Amino acid sequence: MGELNMQEMPLPALFEHAKKIHDLASESSVDQGISRKGCEILRVCEEMIGKLGLFSLNETKDDISTANLKYILVPYYLAELTEKIAEDDRIEVLKASQAKLKEFISFCETMELVPEDEIETSTQGGSSSSVDRRAKKIARFKRQRAAESKLLELKERRERRGRSTKAAALSSPVETGEDDMFDDDGEEEREAWLTTISLALCKAFDLLEMLKKEEEILSAVREKQLQDGEKEFSQLILDERTQKAESWHRDAATRARYTKPAAPITCATFAQDVIEGRAKVSQAHDHKHQPLLFGPASLVGMNPTTERQRIAAQVFQPHYSLPTMSIEEAGLTEMNMMNEWQERNVKLMEEATSSWYNDGPKTRPNEDDEEDDNDDAAQEKARAWDDWKDDNPRGAGNKKLTPCG
């Protein structure tokens, strides 16, 4: 299966193929070409998962759908297959495998899938005693055995249900409990993937400790050889690094299109089509909204010229206004509006902190004199009004109108 075919395959098919290679490599030794092919497929899966945005750091395991739970295992499968690859520089292989294991454990910790005792041990680091390490290994071994037995139980239960379903289908074509059976299958599938992730975590912790010890041993051997003055060995290492650097620069132009970050998929409909295999990741997609057409298709898209055509075009029209844009277009429009609003606020803040604003408004030369004149005039007017009120008390002009005046 070439690279072009892998890009055309949907994510579920790629994951199933990589899982088969991983299971085969775990049960027995496989050819190096098969292991490398599995690593390549898993890297394509990682790229597609990143483009589709299947996981978010703000989610937990309860927020992830059952169909997407299995993709959490992609870094773990990649770490195990990478560790089985034979290279001249074994330390680099160990570092790459450890990086993927740490990525898998960190993501599971974010999704609240790591047990509490493992989190406490990781926070303590290497300061635990031998008794604590032994107790931790025993607890991890018990969790691993419990997960394996749980998976075996789920597998047997599924096989029994399959046999009973076949027998029921032969006896009667319609069964009343089909919906309940499908619900049970969905719950069992979710429970099976969560148990598989728990089992993978136990193996990941053990494998990470083993790889760390192997890296320490190999590093000590290399340092010992360098300290003993084996110049030929060090010269071989330098020649190998020089050759790798030259080949990297020689093939930089060829690898440029693989090192560029891929544009994320922002359309939910297109992402669902990619997951289900109806579209390819490499296809360009624009957020074009296709409005719903109501009425005769021959009259909706044209301008009616007669009253008969106008009435015919309005047949079966909805009682509400049709949308003018898709959800993705509305989101992009709101994002552009927010960017403009932020730019405008930045400009306003710059103007507010500028020297012109801090200096304050400049007053005219005669403005103070005009304000003093206005204050004097207002004061004279108030005094005249008070004098008039003293000379003319309230109700003084109406004495002749009153009966007793």
Kindly list the averaged pLDDT for each block of 10 residues, start to end, along the chain of length 405.
62 88 82 86 88 84 87 91 85 89 89 81 65 85 89 87 76 51 68 90 89 88 73 69 76 55 63 73 60 54 73 72 80 90 89 64 60 83 89 72 57
Buried b (16+ CB within 10 A) or exposed e, 11-36: beebbebbbebbeebeeeebeeeebe
Rounded to 10 deg, the angle between the 178-227 and 130-171 helix axes is 150
> Quick one: pLDDT at residue 178?
47
Token pair belonging to 39: 């690593």
Cβ contacts of 52 within 8 Å, gap of 6 or more: 11, 265, 271, 274, 275
> Quick one: pLDDT at residue 356?
55
Residue 82 burial by Cβ neighbours in a 10 Å radius (0-12, 13-18, 19+): buried
pTM of the predicted model as reported, rounded to 2 decimal places: 0.55
Do the beta carbons of residue 55 and residue 103 sit within 8 Å? no
Residue 73 burial by Cβ neighbours in a 10 Å radius (0-12, 13-18, 19+): buried
CATH superfamily placement of domain 11-120+133-162+188-236: TAP42-like family (1.25.40.540)
**Domain regions of the chain by residue span:** 11-120+133-162+188-236
Do the beta carbons of residue 204 and residue 76 sit within 8 Å? yes
> Quick one: pLDDT at residue 343?
92
Nearest to 32 by CA among 21, 23, 44: 21
Nearest to 121 by CA among 97, 147, 96, 139: 139
How many Cβ atoms are within 10 Å of 343's Cβ, its own excluded? 10
